[in-house]
Amino acid sequence: MVRPRIPSRRRFLCQVASAGLGTALFSSHALRALDGLRPLYVGNPLWHYPNRDWERVYRDLYRSDSSFVFLCAPNDTHNCLLRGFVKNGVVTRIAPTYGYHKATDLHGNQASRRWDPRCCQKGLALVRRFYGDRRCKRPLMRQGFKEWVEAGFPRDEKTGAVDPKYLKRGADPFVPVSWDDAFRYSAMALENIARTYSGEQGMARLRAQGYDPLMIEETRGAGTQVLKFRGGMPPLGMTRVFAQYRLANAMALLDDRIRGSGPDDALGGRGWDNYSWHTDLPPGHPMVTGQQTVDFDLCNVEHAGLALIWGMNWITTKMPDSHWMTEARMKGTRIVVIAAEYSATSSKADEVIIVRPGTTPALALGIAQVLIGEKLYDRRYVEANTDLPLLVRMDTGELLRARDVFANYTPPPLTNNIKVLQPGEAPLPIHKQFGPVITEEQRREWNDFVIWDDLRGGPTPLTRDQVADRFTRLGVRPRLSGEVTVRLASGETVACRTVFDVTRQMLDASYTPEQVEKITWAPAKAIRSLARQIARNAERTLFVTGMGPNQFFNSDLKDRAVFLVAALTRNIGRIGGNVGSYAGNYRASFFNGLGQYIAENPFDVETDPARPARVRRYWKPESVHYFNHGDTILRYGKAVLTGKSHIPTPTKAIHVSNSNSLIGNAKGHYDSIVNTFPRVEFIAINEWWWTASCEYSDVIFPVDSWAELKFPDMTISVTNPFLYVFPATPLPRIHDTRSDVEVAQGICHALGEVTGDERYKDYWRFLHDGGMRPY
């Protein structure tokens, strides 16, 4: 039997190749023709692999033609300088710069390499945003608004209100327009609104529309006062975003044109706030310290023995600075999380105390009760550095004053950091002030305090100068507990106790650990343990408080109670022992030229870059709380709860930059959209990513993303020590966008054309004369 011959792989290939000739037989001629297809035998493929050039395609995926540095600066406030890698004109990927260690301070101290790499996953993925389909790509105008302007701003004859048919925000289509038209229509609207609500007639219209009489009175007849401008988180762009307030200042020119008010009586627009409205402000900080906020750089945690992470999700929300906390823990810092939920930070802690939301003022008071009850407080520090030894009159409940006790008492001059202005004396510019500045009148009114000196057995005056070493040098032993009888200058006697004594009574009566456990659900045992840990860590306990606890009506008490605990245990103002609050960004005050920028006198512009601007603030700050509360003030029956200095004006025009919090993320969004916004006649927004705020605006000004900035800018952070510059980048604009500052300039130019007033142009001359210049 003849076995069928099984063809080899090689033979099979040849057969296949020759099948086209219509035969499976091999001819020598055919085999010669297939010489070129002879198979290649490879021994070890790792040694003899064929040409690998094709791999370059994959390797080159990450090759770039060039790179540039830009600053990522969203609302998280961390600020990371990132490097964008460009290929074929497109940013293909983003990486950290690894350059933070090169930063130095004014004394030449250099940052360590531990600051690198500084970034987070969101920053690395920004390419998707720069090229995303939700970019604001060209100026857009809402159809109804456009028609209202083109129809000559028709209004109700009696009230001046706009016909609702022009106000269908959220339903109207958007129309692409040129930049010139976007500026011109906006300027015309601002002019018309300001004119409509100016003078007696303007105020009558506002009355007819039902606005609160106090708010109408607050306009003082200036229609520009109903124009509201807001830079969202403005320290995130000292020139870009703060441009909104300079724009508000320029509205004084409009008032002058409409009412003929002249530079002395003109009123600008109103500038809306951010930090307090966002509940970023810890309200008890200014109450206790006089500072807007007390804080420290988060890297300080390495110097602490104990860190209380109080209502803050450090790991999740402080991304580039989270490593400081985990590394500190590895080096021995004890981490205690106090939170209403179990968070990513809880899983990194040594101890977690879960509390009911909004109850942590009681927790802090419970800790204070243990500190005093177990005598764990630092008595010397308390005596020399706090107001706890001051005497309180039991008849009035007020602090006893030196003038009440000592006949003809004259407060001595203050020499320890406080500047008292003499009558007629002007304060130094803010950047030259070394400490608090008060008037002679305030000094007289405040007078001095009184303590009870056990060494002398009587009352002793105490000035604000006499703290810390100066207090120790007085050679007194202040009484902390018990009641004393003080003879007043009038001859009467009055029972007095110290602040310490009445505080202790309050704590013992209401805030024992067992009582606090009922309020907070934190176990009494944990409260006692925490108090003892804090006492063991004098100057080494950091209170790292977050934004969450700010959002309750008692949030000022939270801060005040935390400061009480810190004061009892010598944990204020030390590198490893301090109180800090981390939400938003308030550090604009670090930029001492800001006042010149946002309040340069528009009637007296300085066009010489070498000379300082002359300042006159025509715009008035206003809290957007009132607008978010239905554009009303707080009244309770006949009582007006809004203080005189805080009365807002009616809101008829809004221009916002860099924020979605006023519309898209607003508290009570539905109420705002349905009831409040329809009374606003013009809403403009600067955005680079389409948001709900764009959806409800009349004009959308598309602005540059951080990768496309064409003017340098500056910012700062509340979590780290760096001052940042936004570099102007070489990346061509991806869409038809402009800088926020060019938007402000463009509106002013258009106002100049609408009103025939040349001064608007001068106000932004530095911009068109070659870019931003230092102020």
Among the residue ranges 78-86, 167-175, 297-305, 382-390, the one whose residues contact ligand SF4 (CB under 6 A) = 78-86
**Hey, which residues between 320 and 349 contact ligand SF4 (CB under 6 A)?**
320
**Does residue number 74 form part of the binding site for ligand SF4 (CB under 6 A)?**
yes
Task: Kindly tell me which residue out of 79, 333, 585, 657 binds ligand SF4, with binding defined by CB under 6 A.
Answer: 79
Nearer to ligand SF4, 95 or 204 (CB): 95
Nearer to ligand SF4, 119 or 718 (CB): 119
* Sheet strands (E) in 523-600: 541-545, 578-581
First to last CA, the chain: 105
Among the residue ranges 77-85, 215-223, 457-465, 738-746, the one whose residues contact ligand SF4 (CB under 6 A) = 77-85
Among the residue ranges 115-123, 421-429, 432-440, 746-754, the one whose residues contact ligand SF4 (CB under 6 A) = 115-123
Residue nearest to ligand SF4 (CB): 123
Determine the Cα–Cα distance for residues 437 and 427; give it in Å rounded to an integer.
7
Which residues lie below 8 Å from residue 71, measured CB to CB, with a gap of 6+?
Answer: 79, 80, 81, 82, 706, 715, 724, 725, 726, 727
Task: Kindly tell me which residue out of 14, 18, 80, 215 binds ligand SF4, with binding defined by CB under 6 A.
Answer: 80
- Interface with ligand SF4 (CB under 6 A), residue total 12
Q: Are 244 and 234 in contact (CB under 8 A)?
A: yes
Least Cβ distance, residue 527 to ligand SF4 (angstroms): 35
Among the residue ranges 71-79, 395-403, 552-560, 632-640, the one whose residues contact ligand SF4 (CB under 6 A) = 71-79
Least Cβ distance, residue 687 to ligand SF4 (angstroms): 17
**Hey, which residues between 198 and 257 contact ligand SF4 (CB under 6 A)?**
none
Beta bridge partners of 86: 66, 91
Task: Kindly tell me which residue out of 306, 319, 494, 542 binds ligand SF4, with binding defined by CB under 6 A.
Answer: 319
Burial class (CB in 10 A: 0-12, 13-18, 19+), 211: buried
Nearer to ligand SF4, 196 or 313 (CB): 313
**Hey, which residues between 116 and 155 contact ligand SF4 (CB under 6 A)?**
119-120, 122-123
Vertex 69: Cα angle to 296 and 104 (nearest 5): 40
Among the residue ranges 75-83, 153-161, 488-496, 750-758, the one whose residues contact ligand SF4 (CB under 6 A) = 75-83
Nearer to ligand SF4, 122 or 487 (CB): 122
Task: Kindly tell me which residue out of 78, 83, 142, 393 binds ligand SF4, with binding defined by CB under 6 A.
Answer: 78
Q: Measuring CA to CA, how many Å separate 112 from each of 100, 101, 102?
A: 8, 5, 8
**Residue window 549-568: x/- pattern of binding to ligand SF4, with contact defined by CB under 6 A:** --------------------
- Tracing tokens 């409800």 back to the chain, one arrives at 696
Nearer to ligand SF4, 74 or 411 (CB): 74
Nearer to ligand SF4, 120 or 354 (CB): 120
Q: Are 704 and 689 in contact (CB under 8 A)?
A: no
Least Cβ distance, residue 642 to ligand SF4 (angstroms): 36
Q: Which 8-state DSSP code applies to residue 399?
A: B
Task: Kindly tell me which residue out of 18, 70, 76, 542 binds ligand SF4, with binding defined by CB under 6 A.
Answer: 76
Which residues lie below 8 Å from residue 756, measured CB to CB, with a gap of 6+?
Answer: none
Strands 66-72 and 80-87, by their bridges, are antiparallel
Cα 260 to the center of its chain, rounded Å: 38
Least Cβ distance, residue 124 to ligand SF4 (angstroms): 7
**Does residue number 160 form part of the binding site for ligand SF4 (CB under 6 A)?**
no
**Residue window 262-301: x/- pattern of binding to ligand SF4, with contact defined by CB under 6 A:** ----------------------------------------
* Sheet strands (E) in 363-423: 391-393, 419-421
- Neighbouring CB atoms inside 10 A of 238's CB total 25
The per-residue b/e assignment along 630-643, b for 16 or more CB within 10 angstroms, e otherwise, is ebbbeeeeeeeebe
Cα 762 to the center of its chain, rounded Å: 31
Helix, strand or coil, per DSSP, at residue 525: helix
Q: Are 678 and 714 in contact (CB under 8 A)?
A: no
Task: Kindly tell me which residue out of 14, 72, 136, 400 binds ligand SF4, with binding defined by CB under 6 A.
Answer: 72
Q: Which 8-state DSSP code applies to residue 617?
A: -
**Does residue number 316 form part of the binding site for ligand SF4 (CB under 6 A)?**
no
Among the residue ranges 76-84, 305-313, 367-375, 563-571, the one whose residues contact ligand SF4 (CB under 6 A) = 76-84
Burial class (CB in 10 A: 0-12, 13-18, 19+), 66: exposed
Phi, psi of 345 (to 5 degrees): -70, -35
For binding to ligand SF4 (CB under 6 A), which residues are involved?
A: 72, 74, 76, 78-80, 119-120, 122-123, 319-320
